[in-house]
């Protein structure tokens, strides 16, 4: 009942917000729903009951991790929206009346993804995230935003259609006598996995990987992501990168669980390694040439989705590293996208070449931007260093030790590409630039909170989180 309310409540409030024309009232609703959602989510950490076969909704260890990331980021983004919508957007918004309702429906859809224990419902929930978030990308009624929205809808729709085909394949695999009655229930399919047709299972995973991998931004199916993330408003970009990509990864995670339970996890790991290194390599190459700082962050998301896929593909301790990396990347990238909104508001352009002196004109945002740049690059003492080093160590200890140096080299290229774009933006240009007005404290405090969380996870992973991450990794054979 509590899980159903977590989905129904924000969805219902979205309908009510649609009829609200006062932006302050809509923002109050957004903040109230976000805070309530996080409170309920935190209370669910105390419950750890087994999910019975046939259950439609349920929260396992993987679900609570990704639900918590979504809830935390949504509250931070909602707080950031207050100054962003009231006075600080760099251009006049065109879809203001749809902004809060779509955000709340987006939250409801992402919540449903994390609690769905039926693969048909999971598919519908991931499709719902696309429909809820598309109007948010077109918030600023620009031609580029319209193109990005259509690209997002078209490419992700093709991907979700392939994922549906994978779900059908799974249904066919479950028609063997010993698995009849499983339907598309995840717990029942995992229980029956050793009896399922291996050929149909492999086909189902391939289609799910391609389909949900498109939404996750894995190369070469990533082409929608740089446009959508760069055209969306800053708080929406933070949610797209920090929360939505995780939802797509969770779709792949669920299919992997079934394949691993059938004893054929090696097949899935091989494909994930291939797509993971492809994504990391493509993103690193494109980041070196990038001159738009929002698109740069978007390509960085592709890079980090590749890191997660590689960690899961390596297996063993690297799976724990991959899941920890998902947490770290969500916090860090959301903070960077919020900061990009501050920079865009101040300078009015996303072209990195036209932005100089961020540290001077926006000292708070500038310092945080520099800090999170190094955090994103995997330098100590931040959390991404811990997760990337865990994956690297597992790689060099594995049977294909050469993957470790390759992994480290591609990460280094990506970091140098990012630094070569962002560091010149921070420096003063030597001209007599006047000091800008004080930055709205909420627009600095929100990325600061996320940056502190990334720092803490680099120094210490709390036992409650470490335990859940280890148990989630075990679901994939880690």
Q: DSSP letters of 183-234?
A: TTBHHHHHHHGGGS-HHHHHHHHHHHHHHHHHHHT-TTS-THHHHHHHHS-H
pLDDT in tens, the chain (478 residues): 889 999 999 999 999 999 988 889 999 999 999 999 999 999 999 887 778 877 889 999 999 999 999 999 999 999 999 998 887 555 656 667 899 999 999 999 999 999 999 999 999 999 999 999 999 999 888 899 999 999 999 999 999 999 999 999 998 988 877 666 667 899 999 989 998 888 999 999 999 999 999 999 999 988 899 999 999 999 999 999 999 999 999 999 999 999 999 998 999 999 999 999 999 999 999 998 788 999 999 999 999 999 999 999 999 999 999 999 999 999 999 999 999 999 999 999 999 999 999 999 999 999 999 999 999 999 999 999 999 999 999 999 988 899 999 999 999 999 999 999 999 999 866 554 545 567 888 999 999 999 999 999 999 999 999 999 999 999 987 6
* C-alpha span between 321 and 323 (Å, rounded): 6
**Strand, helix or coil for residue 292:** strand
What contacts 152, CB < 8 A, 6 or more positions away? Answer: 130, 133, 134, 137, 224, 227, 228
> For residue 48, what pLDDT is reported?
76
Helix, strand, coil percentages (3-state) for the chain, rounded to 5, are 80, 0, 20
Separation CA 188–CA 396 (nearest Å):
36
pLDDT of residue 434: 47
User: 96-115 vs 61-83: helix axis angle to the nearest 10?
Assistant: 170
pLDDT at 432: 47
Question: Residue 141's pLDDT is what?
Answer: 83
pLDDT at 319: 97
Q: What is the DSSP string of 47-87?
A: --PPPPTT-SB---HHHHHHHHHHHHHHHHHHHHHHHIIII
Q: Provide the β-strand partners of residue 57.
A: 116
pTM of the predicted structure, to 2 decimals: 0.95
Res 477: pLDDT: 78
Structure tokens that stand for 347 in this block? 């300078």
């Amino acid at each position: 009942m509590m899980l159903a309310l977590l989905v129904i409540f924000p969805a219902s409030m979205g309908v009510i917000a649609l009829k609200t024309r006062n932006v302050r009232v809509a923002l109050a609703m957004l903040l109230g729903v976000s805070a309530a959602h996080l409170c309920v989510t935190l209370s669910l950490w105390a419950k750890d009951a087994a999910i019975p076969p046939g259950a439609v909704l349920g929260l396992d260890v993987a679900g609570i991790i990704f639900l918590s990331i979504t809830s935390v980021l949504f509250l931070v983004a909602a707080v950031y929206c207050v100054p962003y919508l009231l006075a600080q957007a760099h251009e006049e918004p065109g879809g203001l009346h749809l902004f809060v309702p779509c955000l709340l429906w987006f939250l409801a859809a992402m919540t449903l993804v994390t609690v769905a224990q039926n693969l048909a419902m999971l598919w519908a929930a991931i499709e719902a995230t696309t429909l809820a978030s598309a109007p948010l990308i077109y918030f600023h009624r620009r031609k580029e935003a319209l193109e990005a929205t259509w690209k997002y809808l078209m490419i992700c729709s093709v991907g979700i259609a392939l994922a549906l085909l994978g779900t059908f394949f799974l249904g066919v695999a479950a028609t063997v006598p010993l698995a009849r009655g499983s339907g598309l229930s995840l717990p029942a399919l995992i229980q029956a996995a050793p009896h399922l047709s291996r050929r149909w299972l492999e086909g189902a995973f391939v289609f799910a990987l391609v389909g949900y991998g498109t939404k996750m931004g894995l190369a070469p199916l990533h082409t929608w992501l740089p446009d959508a993330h760069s055209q969306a408003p800053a708080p929406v970009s933070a949610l797209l990168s920090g929360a939505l990509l995780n939802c797509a990864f969770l779709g792949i995670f669920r299919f992997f669980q079934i394949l691993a339970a059938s004893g054929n996890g090696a097949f899935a790991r091989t494909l994930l390694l291939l797509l993971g290194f492809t994504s990391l390599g493509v993103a690193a190459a494109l980041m070196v040439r990038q001159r738009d700082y929002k698109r740069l962050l978007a390509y960085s998301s592709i890079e980090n989705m590749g890191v997660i896929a590689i960690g899961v593909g390596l297996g063993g301790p690297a799976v724990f590293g991959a899941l920890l990396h998902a947490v770290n990347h969500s916090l860090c990238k959301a903070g960077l996208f919020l900061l990009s909104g501050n920079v865009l508001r101040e300078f009015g352009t996303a072209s990195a070449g036209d932005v100089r002196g961020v540290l001077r004109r926006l000292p708070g945002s500038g310092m945080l931007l520099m800090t999170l740049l190094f955090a994103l690059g995997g330098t100590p003492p931040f959390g991404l260093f811990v997760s990337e080093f865990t994956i690297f160590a597992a790689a060099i200890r594995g049977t294909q030790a050469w993957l470790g140096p390759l992994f480290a080299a591609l990460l280094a290229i990506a970091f140098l590409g990012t630094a070569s774009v962002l560091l010149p933006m921070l420096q003063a240009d030597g001209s007599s630039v006047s000091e800008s007005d004080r930055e709205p404290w909420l627009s600095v405090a929100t990325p600061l909170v996320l940056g502190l969380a990334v720092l803490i996870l680099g120094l210490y992973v709390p036992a409650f989180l470490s335990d859940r991450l280890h148990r989630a990794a075990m679901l994939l054979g880690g």
